[in-house]
Amino acid sequence: MMIIMKTTATKEELNHVLQRVEDLDLHPHRIKGSERNVIGVVGDGRPVEATAFIRLPGVASVIPISKPYKLASREFYPENTLVPVGEHVIGNGTPIIIGGPCAVESREQILEAAKAVKDAGAHALRGGAFKPRTSPYSFQGMGEEGLKLLAEARELTGLPIVTEVTAPELVPLVADYAEVLQIGARNMQNYALLKAVGQTNRTVLLKRGMSATINDFLMAAEYILSKGNQNVILCERGIRTFETATRNTTDINAIPVLQAHTHLPVMLDPSHSTGHWEYVSALARSGIAAGADGIIVEVHPDPASALSDGAQSLKPHRFKTLVKQVNAIADALQTAHISTNPLQ
């Protein structure tokens, strides 16, 4: 539920309500608005009567939240959440573009990719140091050595780092190197890992599981939010269907649907959605037109020699063209005053 405080509520009245929430073994989440304070109340599923709070001094109203996900719901927080990506912010209407190789393979490769991504006008560099692969015999990443190379690439270009963390015990290590911790599709329901990243102060990019419903996806985000980390980005990356012409099936529906149900920013990964570089740009353009807050694209200096996902990686010159196209679409939407907000 949400407790709406009066505009005239004093600090003492606010603190009294917060204490009352804790006395009932519930968890308060304070939201400070421009005119009044709102307290989100989350518990263990036990019914809580509004009368426990409505008569307290300073309380204007109490509103129940119907969704199973509370902190991620627009009922809880109707405004768009702005999430940092290095010095940039996602969720304010300007698309954030993240590019880079699937995996860090060598110093030469990641530095060349980083310079190309920077030159194209992207806002952040992606690259995997720890890679959860379908086959145990596939390249699993360079580990901490890969993280060190990503840090060197950041020093060279100024781009913040987005990289995957695959296990709870690796979270402190990866958080020392990266601005954004990525949770891959295979780990979307790794609840121990979600709790671990929820206890950090790093932005988390959460990818949708390949068989996850929208509800499953938002409940995974709820795990992170419930641990105190409000900086969560959702990423649609394609789901499993009967179709075999592409690696996955891009759920473009998910972009407006998620934006209707949650205040968290939504990105699209057109690389994993299609599995073929030939289709990546078209999907990226359609995602921005549908209202995505950004895209994350695989870019490799020499896709033919890539140790993973070369078939879906753009060459630098194609990525540079895509960045221009994405920005042009975003500018056109703003110029025409076309809102991509599904609730408007």
Give tens-digit pLDDT for 224-241.
999 999 999 999 999 999
Q: Quick one: pLDDT at residue 160?
A: 98
Do the domains at 2-63 and 83-335 have one common CATH topology?
no
| Over residues 312-316, mean pLDDT | 97
Pair 96, 307: CB distance under 8 Å? no
CA dihedral sign of residues 149, 151, 156, 160: positive
Question: Which has the minimum average pLDDT: 37-41, 157-161, 214-218, 316-320?
Answer: 37-41
Q: What is the CATH number of domain 83-335?
A: 3.20.20.70
**pTM (global) more than 0.85:** yes
Answer yes or no: is pLDDT of 76 > 80. yes
Give tens-digit pLDDT for 277-313.
999 999 999 999 999 999 999 999 999 999 999 999 9
The residues spanned by each domain of the chain are 2-63, 83-335
With vertex at residue 327, the alpha carbon angle to CA 321 and CA 333, rounded to the nearest 5 degrees, is: 135
Our CA dihedral for 268, 216, 233, 287, rounded to 10 degrees, sits at: 20
**DSSP single-letter state for residue 299:** B
Angle subtended by helix axes 144-157 and 107-120, to nearest 10: 40
Answer yes or no: is pLDDT of 344 > 70. no
Residue 317's CB: how many other CB atoms inside 10 A? Answer: 10
Residue 204's φ and ψ, nearest 5 degrees, are -115, 125
**Nearest C-alpha neighbor of 177 from the set 125, 140, 132:** 125
**Cα–Cα distance, 254 to 210 (Å, whole number):** 13
Is the domain spanning 2-63 CATH 3.30.70.1140? The answer is: yes
Q: Quick one: pLDDT at residue 78?
A: 86
Q: Quick one: pLDDT at residue 242?
A: 95
Pair 274, 247: CB distance under 8 Å? yes
